[in-house]
Amino acid sequence: MDQLNRFENFHDFDFGLKMVYQEGYEDIDLAEEDIDLLANEFTGVDEDLEEGALQDQMQLQLMLQQQYAQEIPEVVKNFIIYFHRNILENNVYELHGIYENSFNRLTEKFYAKTPWPEADYIAPMVNDDQVFLTLYRELYYRHIYSKLSPTIEHRFHSYENYCDLFNFILNSDGPVSLELPNQWLWDIIDEFIYQFQSFCNYRNRLKNKTDEEIALLRENIQVWSCYSVLNVLYSLITKSRITEQLLVSKLGGDMIEAAGEYGSRPLYKMLGYFSIIGLLRVHCLLGDYTLALKMMDNIELNKKALFARVTACHVTTYYYVGFAYMMMRRYADAIRAFSHILVFIARTKMYHTRSYQFDQINKKGDQMYALLAICIALCPTRLDESIHTHLKEKYGDHSSKMQRGLYTTMGIDKLAAFLEIEAEELRTQLLIVKQKSRQQKWTSGTLLEGEYVTTSDLDFCLKQDMIHIAESKVGRRYGDWFLRNINKFQDILAGMNLRS
Amino acid sequence: MNNDSLLFPSPLIPPSRPEIIQSLIDGVDRYNPDNVSILEEYLAVQLQNEEYDLMANLAILKLYQFNPHLVNEIVINNILVKALTAIPNPDFNLCLYLLQEGALNDENVLKLITLQQLLEQARYQEFWDTFEKDEAYREIASEAIGFENAIRKVILTAICMTYHSISADLLRSYLNFTNDDDEFESFIQSRELIIKDNVVTIPTNYDNEAKPTVIRENIKFEQLKEKEPKIKVVKVVAINKI
């Protein structure tokens, strides 16, 4: 685990996050030297070994490598070589296919129940290309997380690998020339946060852990720490100048100047952008719902937004925006967010049935229906027809319809008697109803803005002991009627034209 | 009549917020544990001057969340006391979300949750009973200058939203002005309420109006535009027929 030390410099991308609380925190220069030193650690450590013993060991390792390599199916070998070539050539189009289809097909065929070959074994096939191997490991660990159960070593090494990847992207001399499909870039951010969350859950379950595991966790508190995760996301945002770019696209200005050397490359721009959505999620996980929505200050929720380019990102954005609103008791806004994305999922279902993310998106959709049911119970609202039907099918038993009032005025005593409660209790209840029927609701500006409006159809006021009740009704809808008739006349006229 | 609700959210940027706090909570500096004292001092100013800044106070709790060794129970206390004065805004809950699980067993925090529940459930007389009878409750809120009046404002807002007229005795008990008539009258006059024959009349506002409305579709001509070319064709055809 010594190797992990070299990631201490990782806390110190030069972007303002001060990690002063950590002991043993070093200057950048020092830490960078450490990397160089540690890169040679294998030879360094073995210095006192006999020359011959060292060679023996290396030979043994080589033999094992070769042996294992022979066990890798030919088709997988070819795939890796092809994969590597396309990474070198920055062929985003091919990489898209490799990433979305080939990798998953091969997984199903050969690695449904076992991990992919370790990066060390495929290293000779790709000329020991460290960048490729880091990317490969990203997929390797992600596969373990999704299909198998990761051990503590997997968790640590995967973290280490993310450190490698982000160090490469953020701390190379100048911007790196790597290009990856948007979907993959989103998945990198998404998975990074998922593994962070998974690690927090894992760390908190102390029950079945060995002393050794507990000691490891204790010694490595910086691994998957909140600060390091936030550090990565904020660093990507700063490096890509994505905030500046979003401001220019909103208010106008010189985009090239705003984007700068890094931000004008798609890799940086998209990673920066996805990091904003990532922070929305992380802050929700940490229970900071205002800060979560604050992250979205420069992103407008509409179809033209960049997040809509990757379906999973689109769904995630609305899920967390809706969730944050719900926790802030802004149910009307939560309902709007959930219904919007649920309609989107329903309408695009046929397009993503084949996607490897189909199951995940559907699962998120189901969760959102449940959240929507909660919001609707707390704030009865008319919904989109298809959403309403689906909700009734799924959660019909859970939600009951609100009773509409029959009276327009009524004495407190009379209603109290109806409800079989004390008049005083009824007064209290009415005061509660009044306040709960008012909600902060977004109309314009950033997501955190909004004004108090009435969200209930039924309103009332008290004149001493008399309740005056008023109901908002939906007027007759002419829109549909007009449209129907316009269509009808068109048909008639078309018919007449045919005959004449 | 004003068209806005009597309720308003806690401002994202209160006018009283100093520049230094603004830049601190806007950037990554908000994660720097060294800054906690600046924010804590700002909280002290809020307590003293009857001001309130939710976002800045959440930033303190955020630093506590990441750096448990910094936690100061009195500060948490005062933040929650301030959040009570913002009801029915969700501020109190937003603060609770950021506390460590253990903090929810803290005696003072539990007391504050009791007060929050009573206020949110509009059990105002019970709120004052609880608050007045137990020295410990008053002790918790002792650092927040003007706490009682701030709570009275919360209650009065709820009453003004719900009532057109209300018996003065009932209102007096809601506001805990049982002994002092002068104070009661000057307090409710600040909201332009009129007291006559032991009945308090509340001017009409957005929230206590309760008039039936009809929600109408509002279709703009442009929205039918998709249909427009076809409609034009129809017209031409019709003319030809004639």
pLDDT, tens digit, 9 for 90 and up, residues A188-244:
999 999 999 999 999 888 888 888 888 888 888 889 998 999 999 999 999 999 999
Greater confidence, B101 or B47? B47
Name, in order, each residue with C-beta under 8 angstroms of A41's C-beta and a sequence gap of 6 or more. A2, A3
Residue in B54, B162, B214 closest to A431 by CB: B162
- Over residues A345-374, mean pLDDT: 81
User: Closest Cα of chain A to B10: distance in Å?
Assistant: 10
Residue B225's pLDDT is what? Answer: 61
Greater confidence, A452 or B47? B47
In DSSP terms, which residues pair with B194 in a beta bridge? Answer: B201
Residue B174 confidence (pLDDT) above 80 = yes
Tokens of A410: 């009524």
Query: Least CA distance to B93: which residue of chain A?
Result: A328
The rounded percent of chain B whose pLDDT value lies above 90 is: 55
Residue A398's pLDDT is what? Answer: 63
Q: Which of A9-23, A478-492, B48-62, B108-122 has the lowest mean pLDDT?
A: A9-23
End-to-end CA distance of chain A: 88
Greater confidence, B209 or B17? B17
CATH C-level class of B19-241 = mainly alpha
CB contact under 8 A, B217 and A483: no
CB contact under 8 A, B164 and A461: yes
Q: Where are the domains of chain B?
A: 19-241
Residue A361 confidence (pLDDT) above 60 = yes
Residue A85's pLDDT is what? Answer: 93
ipTM metric: 0.82
Average pLDDT, chain B: 86
Phi, psi (rounded to 5 degrees) for A468: -105, 125
Greater confidence, A30 or A93? A93
Chain pair A-B, CB pairs under 8 angstroms: 157
* Residue B201 exposed, middle or buried by CB count within 10 Å (0-12, 13-18, 19+): middle
Which single residue is written with the structure tokens 């990798």?
A103
Name, in order, each residue with C-beta under 8 angstroms of B188's C-beta and a sequence gap of 6 or more. B156, B171, B175, B195, B200
User: Closest Cα of chain A to B183: distance in Å?
Assistant: 22
Residue A402 confidence (pLDDT) above 80 = no
- With an 8 Å Cβ cutoff, is A423 touching chain B? no
Could you tell me the pLDDT band of residue A133, with boundaries at 50, 70 and 90?
very high
For A358-362, the CB contacts below 8 A with 24+ separation are: A360/A312, A361/A311, A361/A312, A361/A315
CB contact under 8 A, A452 and B199: no
- Segment A436-489, tens digit of pLDDT: 888 888 888 889 888 888 887 778 888 888 888 877 777 776 777 777 888 888
Residue B17 confidence (pLDDT) above 70 = yes
Could you tell me the pLDDT band of residue A397, with boundaries at 50, 70 and 90?
low
End-to-end CA distance of chain B: 56
Residue A381's pLDDT is what? Answer: 80
The rounded percent of chain A whose pLDDT value lies above 90 is: 37
Q: Which site among A225, A289, A464 would you substitute to test the B interface, given the most B Cβ atoms closer than 10 Å to its Cβ?
A: A464
- Over residues A369-375, mean pLDDT: 88
Q: How far is the C-alpha of A114 from the C-alpha of A71, rounded, in Å?
A: 13
Average pLDDT, chain A: 81
Residue A31 confidence (pLDDT) above 60 = no
Residue A230 · residue A275 · CB < 8 Å: no
Q: Which site among B35, B65, B217 would you substitute to test the A interface, given the most A Cβ atoms closer than 10 Å to its Cβ?
A: B217
Residue A47 confidence (pLDDT) above 90 = no
Report helix angle A152-171 to A226-240, nearest 10. 20
CA nearest neighbour of B144 among B93, B89, B84? B84
CA nearest neighbour of B84 among B97, B96, B99, B67? B96
Q: How far is the C-alpha of A286 from the C-alpha of B155, rounded, in Å?
A: 32
- With an 8 Å Cβ cutoff, is B237 touching chain A? yes
Residue A18 confidence (pLDDT) above 60 = no
pTM of the model: 0.80
Residue A22's pLDDT is what? Answer: 36
Which single residue is written with the structure tokens 């954005």?
A317
Q: Which residues of A touch B97 (CB under 8 A)?
A: 287-289, 327
- Segment B61-78, tens digit of pLDDT: 999 999 999 999 999 999
Residue B192's pLDDT is what? Answer: 86
Residue B197's pLDDT is what? Answer: 87
- Segment A326-358, tens digit of pLDDT: 999 999 999 999 999 999 888 887 776 566 677
Residue A277 confidence (pLDDT) above 90 = yes
Residue A322 confidence (pLDDT) above 90 = yes
Residue B58 · residue A290 · CB < 8 Å: yes
Could you tell me the pLDDT band of residue A66, with boundaries at 50, 70 and 90?
low
Residue A301 confidence (pLDDT) above 70 = yes
The rounded percent of chain B whose pLDDT value lies above 70 is: 90
User: Closest Cα of chain A to B141: distance in Å?
Assistant: 24
Residue B103's pLDDT is what? Answer: 84
Q: Which residues of A touch B237 (CB under 8 A)?
A: 493, 497
Residue A352's pLDDT is what? Answer: 63
Residue B144 confidence (pLDDT) above 80 = yes
CA A427, A430, A432: angle at the middle one, nearest 5? 115
- With an 8 Å Cβ cutoff, is B163 touching chain A? yes
Q: Three-state SS for A25?
A: coil
Most confident of A39-53, A56-70, B23-37: B23-37
Residue A62's pLDDT is what? Answer: 64
Residues 123-142 in A contacting B (C-alpha not used; CB under 8 Å): none
Residue A400's pLDDT is what? Answer: 54
Q: Which site among A463, A485, A497 would you substitute to test the B interface, given the most B Cβ atoms closer than 10 Å to its Cβ?
A: A463
- Segment A151-162, tens digit of pLDDT: 999 999 999 999
Could you tell me the pLDDT band of residue A370, with boundaries at 50, 70 and 90?
confident
Residues 9-68 in B contacting A (C-alpha not used; CB under 8 Å): 9, 12, 27-29, 31-34, 54-55, 58, 62, 65-67
- With an 8 Å Cβ cutoff, is B173 touching chain A? no
- Over residues A288-296, mean pLDDT: 94
Residue B84's pLDDT is what? Answer: 95
User: Closest Cα of chain A to B203: distance in Å?
Assistant: 12
Could you tell me the pLDDT band of residue B240, with boundaries at 50, 70 and 90?
very low
